[in-house]
Structure 1
Amino acid sequence: MIEFSKKTNTLVQVQYKYSLQDVSEPNLYRDIFNYDEIPKCAFNHRKVPMFPADEIWITDTTFRDGQQSRAPYTVDQILHLFDLLHKLGGPKGIIRQCEFFLYSDRDKEAVYKCMERGYEYPEVTSWIRATKNDFQLAKDMGMKESGILVSCSDYHIFKKLNMTRKQALEHYMSIIKSAIEVGIRPRCHFEDITRADFYGFVVPFALELKKLMEESKVPIKIRACDTLGYGVSYPGAALPRSVPGIIYGLRHHAGFPSELIEWHGHNDFYKAVCNSATAWLYGASSVNCSLLGIGERTGNTPLEAMVIEYAQLRGTTDGMDTTVITEIAEYYEKELGYQIPPRTPFVGRHFNVTQAGIHADGLLKNEEIYNIFDTAKLLNRPVGVAINQTSGLAGIAHWINSHFGLEGAKRIDKKDERVVKIKEWVDEQYKTGRVTAIGDNELEEVIRKFAPEIFDLAL
C-alpha cells in the first residue's frame, strides 16, 4: 500500500506494520551494552530524513525528576520558580508544561497554588503511579494530563517487572485505558527506549496506542525517555541508540504526529542538549528539561540550554524573556544555596568571564571578539574578566570599565597610569606566591587605595 505524503509531497510505502515479537529470552543487546565495557556505538549507515515540526516547545520536569536528586523544594520556592518559568516562556508559552508529583501534602499544596496563578502556560501536569486510585487523585486535583511509566526495554520488562513483552504490553494498555476512563490524557513514558527492541516492542506498542487513540478520540502522548543517556545523534547510527531513528520511527512506522512526541534525555554521556536538539530536528515537538539540568544522576537536559537552542534553530526567541535565566541562576545560588559550577554555560558566574590577558585586550577593543553574543542584553550578564597574573593592563582596564559601568569618555584606557599602578600591585601578589584569582571586593579596595576617583566616575 502506498499513500501520498503531504509532508514530503511524495508517494510513501506504508504497507508494513510491525507486530509484537514476544521473545522467550530478553534482548539485552550485549554486543553494544556489555556491562564490563563502555557502551559501543554501532552504525548501519541508514539515514532518515530530518523533518522538524511546524511548532516546537519545551516542557519542564524540575518539580518531578528534578526533585529526585536534591532536597525537596518548599511550596514557596516551587511557586517562585513556577512564576519564573512562566515569565521565561513568554506569551506564546514556549515553556508549555510543568509536571509535578501529587503524593505529599506539600506536593498537593504546590500544585494548587501554581494552578491558582491562572497561567495558560506552563500547564500544570502530573506524574502518577499506574493505579486507578492515582488516576482518580489526578482527576480530582484538576489534572488534564498525567505521565504514566511504561518501561519498554527488556532490561525493565524481564528483569524489573518479571513479565514477557506480551504481558507487559497488555498490562500497560489496561492501565492507559483506565486513565482515559477517568478523563485523564495519558502521557506514556517509554522508559529506557535507547536499550529497547524498537521494531519488536516499541513500534508495536506505539501502534496499539495509536489504535486506542483513534477509538477513544483522546490524544495519547509518547515521551521517549533516554533513561541512561545512551542516545546518540550521529547520522547513520544504528538503533536502539539512534535519536534520529527513534523519532523518525515513531512518526513514520507508528504514525504518531510530532505534537504527541516528546524527548526526555539524561546527561550520562554529555549528550543531553545535543540529543534534545536532534529530537526537535527529526520531528519531536517537545523536549523535556529541568532547570539547571538538575535531575537523576548526571541530570536532565538543562531547560535554559534549550531556550538558547530554540533561538538558534528558529532564529527568534518568540517572546521568551531570556534575562530570566539569570534571575533563575541567582535565585538558586542566593535563596536555595545551590552552587552552580562557575563555568556552566549561560548560568555560571564565569561563563562569560575571561582570564587570558590577550583575550581581555580583544574585549577592551570590541567585546564581540571574545563574547558569544550580547550577554548584557540577552542575559543581563555583562562580559567580564577575572584578574590574575595573565590579565595584563587590558584585563585590568576592562574589569574597571565593566565593574563600574564606565561608558564613553569615562572609560579607562589600558595605558592609564592608574591601571599601571594597579597592575604593579597585581604582579607583586603573584611574585610572592599567590595562585588564586583576585576577587572583586579585593580589587575595589586596591582601587580605593590607588585611584579612589574612579568611584566618582561611576556616579
Structure 2
Amino acid sequence: MTAQPELFRDQFPYTAPPRIVFDGGDVPTALPDDIFITDTTFRDGQQARPPYTVDQISALFDLLHRLSGPNGVIRQSEFFLYSPKDREAAYRCMEKGYRFPEVTAWIRAVKQDFALVKEMGVKETGILTSISDYHIFQKLGMTREQAMRQYLDIVEAALAAGIRPRCHLEDVTRADIPGMVIPFVKRLTELSKESGIPVKVRLCDTMGLGVSYPGAALPRSVPKLVHALRMETGITGDLLEWHGHNDFYKVLTNAGTAWLYGVGGINGTLLGFGERTGNTPIEALLIEYMGFTGDTSIDTTVITEMAEFFERELGYEVPPMTPFVGRQFNVTSAGIHADGVVKNEEIYNIFDTGKLLNRPLGVHVTDKAGAAGVAFWVNRQLKLEGEARVDKRHEGIKRMTEWVAEQYKDGRTTSLSDAELLGAAGRYLPKYFSAR
C-alpha cells in the first residue's frame, strides 16, 4: 500500500469544481432480484436538524413501519446509542416488535463504542470505516495499513460476539478503489465466510461526488465502483448498500444507478434530511422502487401523512416545490395546462396523486389561470366529475374569470386564496355556492 495519500487532483483540484473524467470504459447493469431501502433518519438525519424527542422518534418509526408495506421494503433503521435519550428511543422502537424496519446501531471503529452495542442487544451495527486517503491520512493521521487493522479489529470483535457488522466506507467516491477499497472488502468477505455471519458494506458518497454517466472514471463512477466490488471481491448485492448525499443534485439518480448496477440496499432519510445538502429522500426511493419492481403493495398515502407530521408536530415547513410532498408539486398555474387538466388530468399529472398520495391535482387561480383554471377550481370544490362538471363556458365561470382578472390590475402577484374564491363563487355561481 502507498505511503503517500492519493488525492486524485486531476478530478478534485479544490480550487475549481470537481472534474468528471471519462476513460471510455463501460460495465453491464445487474439489477438484483431483491432491492430494498434502509433508513438513517435518526442517525444522519438528526445531524441536520434539532434532535427529535423520544416520542417523535417513536411516531416516525411507526410511519416507517407502515411505509415498509407487507414486503418490508424498508428493512432497517439505524440509531445512535451515545446518550441515554438515544438508547431510550432505540429501546422504545425495539419494543414495538416490528419485523420491519429492524433497529440497528451506528458506532465509530473504537472498542468503547462497541461495548454500547453489546449492552443494548442490537443484532447489527454500522461501523465507521473511513476509506479515502483524505480521511485516513489527513483526518485520522494513519497509514492505510494502520486504518485497515483498526477497522478489522472491530469487525472481528463484532463477529466474535455474534453481531452483524456493517462497514460504512466513508468518502468512497474519493478513495483508491483498487489500492484500498477492494483489498479491504476482500478481507471482509473472507471474514464473513469464515464466521458464517454476513458482513455488510455501505458505500458512502459522503460528498455527493458520485456520477452515473457511462464511461466516467473511478472513483466517481457509481456503475464502475459497484461492478468492481462485485467482480473483484465476490460480495453479493444483498450485502451492499449505497448512502448518498445531494451536494451536486445527484442523490436520487446515483441511488437508482447503484440499484441498477448491483447494490441491494439504498440508505435514505425521511424528507431527505441529512448533513449539508441531505440524503436520498425515502419517499422518493419508494416511488423509484415501485418503478423498478412494479410492487404496488405499499400504502403511499402514508408519504403525505409523514409530511403532514413534520409540519404539524415538528414545525417544519416543507419547501412548496418538493416532489410528492410540497404544496405546489401537483398544482398547475398556467391556463393552458388547466384547460388540458379539465379534459383529462392525466395530461398534466405525473400519476394519480389523489389515489396514491391522497393529494388530488390542484390549480392555482391567478390571472394566468383563465376560465379553464377557474372551472377546474370550482369543480374540485364541488367534487363534480364527468358530465356533471360546470363547463368553462358557463356564464358564471365567465363572470368569475373577469373578477379574477380585476384582482390583478393593481399589480398583485400572489394566487387567490380559497376564501377569496369562495366569496366570488357565491356571487357568480349562487346555484352552487352560498353567497358570502
Report the Cα distance in structure 1 between the residues aligned to 2:110 and 2:218, rounded to whole angstroms. 32
Contact 1:62 1:294 (8 Å CA) reproduced = yes
Match of 2:424 among 432, 443, 446: 446
Contact 1:293 1:300 (8 Å CA) reproduced = yes
Residue in 2 that maps onto 1:95? 74
Report the Cα distance in structure 2 between the residues aligned to 1:350 and 1:382, rounded to whole angstroms. 11
Q: Give structure 1 stretches of 5+ with no counterpart.
A: 1-21
Please give the residue correspondences for 1:213-252 in structure 2 after superposition, counting only pairs within 5 Å: 213-252=192-231
Cα deviations by residue, 1:402-429 (Å, 9 ceiling, x for unpaired): 2332234542111112212221111011
Contact 2:38 2:76 (8 Å CA) reproduced = yes
Please give the residue correspondences for 1:94-133 in structure 2 after superposition, counting only pairs within 5 Å: 94-133=73-112
- Structure 1 residue 452 displacement after superposition: 4.4
- Structure 1 residue 326 displacement after superposition: 0.7
Contact 1:132 1:179 (8 Å CA) reproduced = no
- Structure 1 residue 138 displacement after superposition: 1.4
Residue in 2 that maps onto 1:178? 157
Residue in 1 that maps onto 2:59? 80
Match of 1:374 among 331, 339, 352: 352
Residue in 2 that maps onto 1:3? none
Residue in 2 that maps onto 1:327? 305
Q: Between 347-356 and 442-451, report the one with greater CA deviation.
A: 442-451
Contact 2:109 2:150 (8 Å CA) reproduced = no
Q: Give structure 2 stretches of 5+ with no counterpart.
A: none
Match of 1:341 among 301, 304, 319: 319
Residue in 2 that maps onto 1:265? 244
Residue in 2 that maps onto 1:162? 141
The letter of the residue matching 1:315 is: G
Report the Cα distance in structure 2 between the residues aligned to 1:350 and 1:404, rounded to whole angstroms. 21
Q: Between 251-260 and 412-421, report the one with greater CA deviation.
A: 412-421
SS of the aligned residue for 1:174 comes to helix
Cα deviations by residue, 1:295-339 (Å, 9 ceiling, x for unpaired): 11000001111111011111223x111111111111111221111
Say yes or no: does 1:149 pair with 2:160.
no
What is the TM-score of this pair, normalised by structure 2?
Answer: 0.97
Report the Cα distance in structure 2 between the residues aligned to 1:352 and 1:134, rounded to whole angstroms. 46
Contact 1:135 1:184 (8 Å CA) reproduced = no
Q: Between 166-175 and 185-194, report the one with greater CA deviation.
A: 166-175
The letter of the residue matching 1:158 is: F
Report the Cα distance in structure 1 between the residues aligned to 2:97 and 2:432, rounded to whole angstroms. 49
SS of the aligned residue for 1:327 comes to helix
Contact 2:40 2:77 (8 Å CA) reproduced = yes
The letter of the residue matching 2:317 is: Q
Residue in 2 that maps onto 1:18? none
The letter of the residue matching 2:121 is: G
Residue in 1 that maps onto 2:188? 209
Residue in 2 that maps onto 1:431? 409
Report the Cα distance in structure 1 between the residues aligned to 2:59 and 2:23, rounded to whole angstroms. 48
- Structure 1 residue 166 displacement after superposition: 1.0
Report the Cα distance in structure 2 between the residues aligned to 1:104 and 1:205, rounded to whole angstroms. 31
- Structure 1 residue 182 displacement after superposition: 2.5
- Structure 1 residue 146 displacement after superposition: 0.5
Report the Cα distance in structure 2 between the residues aligned to 1:261 and 1:187, rounded to whole angstroms. 9
Residue in 1 that maps onto 2:178? 199
User: What RMSD over aligned residues (CA atoms) do the two structures have, in Å?
Assistant: 1.2
Q: Between 402-411 and 106-115, report the one with greater CA deviation.
A: 402-411
Say yes or no: does 1:49 pair with 2:46.
no
The letter of the residue matching 1:119 is: Y
Report the Cα distance in structure 1 between the residues aligned to 2:232 and 2:418, rounded to whole angstroms. 58
Say yes or no: does 1:416 pair with 2:374.
no
- Structure 1 residue 395 displacement after superposition: 0.4
Contact 1:57 1:285 (8 Å CA) reproduced = yes
- Structure 1 residue 283 displacement after superposition: 0.5
Cα deviations by residue, 1:227-246 (Å, 9 ceiling, x for unpaired): 00000011111000000011
Q: Between 194-203 and 43-52, report the one with greater CA deviation.
A: 43-52
Please give the residue correspondences for 1:390-401 in structure 2 after superposition, counting only pairs within 5 Å: 390-401=368-379
The letter of the residue matching 2:304 is: T
**Sequence identity percentage:** 59
Report the Cα distance in structure 1 between the residues aligned to 2:126 and 2:237, rounded to whole angstroms. 18
